[in-house]
Amino acid sequence: LREQGIERINQADTQKKLDEIRVELIGRKGQLTEILHSMKDVAPENRPKVGQQVNQLRDLFQSSFDDAKEKLVQALIAKRLEEEKIDVTLPGRQAHLGSKHPMYVILDDLERFFIGMGYKVVQGPEIETDHYCFEMMNLPKDHPARDMQATFYIDDENLLRTQTSGDQARVLEKHDFLKGPLKMVGPGKVYRRDDDDATHSHQFMQMEGLVVDKNVTMSDLKGTLELIAKHEFGQDRKTRLRPSYFPFTEPSVEMDVSCFNCDGKGCPICKYTGWIEVLGAGMVHPNVLENAGIDSTVYGGFAFGLGIDRFAILKYGVSDIRDFYTNDVRFLEQFRKEE
């Protein structure tokens, strides 16, 4: 039993086999235990001797098991080390650096521009409430102008915001005019139901702007829009204001800049008009101020909504608006130099 047992222990090549052999030899129902149980058949005078032998054998097996187990563990570690060996002489692989999305190249630049003029930057929720997106903005339920923006409703009260204008209401409600005028911009993504093609997208970027104080006039608005256009598109870009309609501004305007691509001569990007609409704006409607608890006979202001996608199209000559959200690295990598 001794020779056979030792040999089997030494031949076991996995922990599992080793454990099986251990159970067979010295387990509670193992061969040695059986010998101990059959002591009654041994002549009484021989019992101490046999018992001693059995115990010795058990100790021997136990230490053989321990040795064999240690060997297996060592072998395993050695194998692991061999497999995970690192060849330090291999040439290094260049880590691939990402680049800033073109939309954020423009947004970050604009934020810096506005911060420099004393605006603060706010961030409203993309899942907006009907209350802030529309009702507070002078667009009660059933107002026909709601049709201007095909809305993704989530339920009666929640929707994917169609405009960043809800940011205006949120900020107006909280602003303390004793601490100074309100000047803010609110950049972010907006959503509208639309059939996507090269020039239409169900998601795009806006940057909301709002200035409210005593004695704010339309010429403040014109001056600000002019500054924005010059900053964004260059000092010699021409601009024009067209009368327009938004429920939350009165009067309302839209600003066009001369087409960056064809310099006003006409091309597919400007639909052969020579002009591209880049923003809507106007003087804040008294109802919007009153809705937020502000006395519209004392305070007034202007607001604007910049179409960041339009800015990007003009600036980079992008011909398919979908490139902005499909995240094709071949498209995105072209803007590395812009950061």
Q: What is the rounded distance in angstroms from the CA atom of residue 139 to the CA atom of residue 288?
A: 10
| Residue (of 286, 311, 279, 129) closest to 208 by Cα position | 279
151 binds ligand PHE (CB under 6 A): no
Residue 165 C-beta: closest distance to ligand PHE, Å: 4
Query: In this chain, which of 64, 138, 151, 163 binds ligand PHE, going by CB under 6 A?
Result: 163
Regarding 166 and contact with ligand PHE (CB under 6 A), the answer is no
- Tell me: does residue 132 bind ligand PHE (CB under 6 A): no
Q: Does 280 bind ligand PHE (CB under 6 A)?
A: yes
Residue 188 binding ligand PHE, by CB under 6 A: no
Residue numbers 219-248 binding ligand PHE by CB under 6 A = 246
Task: Tell me: does residue 281 bind ligand PHE (CB under 6 A).
Answer: yes
Radius of gyration, CA atoms only, the chain: 39
Are 311 and 339 spatial neighbours (Cβ–Cβ below 8 Å)? no
Contacting ligand PHE (CB under 6 A), which of 275, 304, 311, 324? 304
Shortest Å, Cβ 190 to ligand PHE: 7
DSSP per residue over 257-303, as a string? EE-TTTTTS--GGGTTSSEEEEEEEEEEPHHHHHHTT--TTT-EEEE
User: Binding to ligand PHE by residue 249, rule CB under 6 A?
Assistant: yes
**Which of 218, 186, 219 shows the shortest CA–CA distance to 284?**
218
SS3 state at 306:
strand
**Binding to ligand PHE by residue 187, rule CB under 6 A?**
no
Q: How far apart (Å, rounded) are the C-alpha atoms in residues 107 and 204?
A: 12
Q: Where do contacts with ligand PHE occur on this chain (CB under 6 A)?
A: 163, 165, 246, 249, 280-282, 303-305
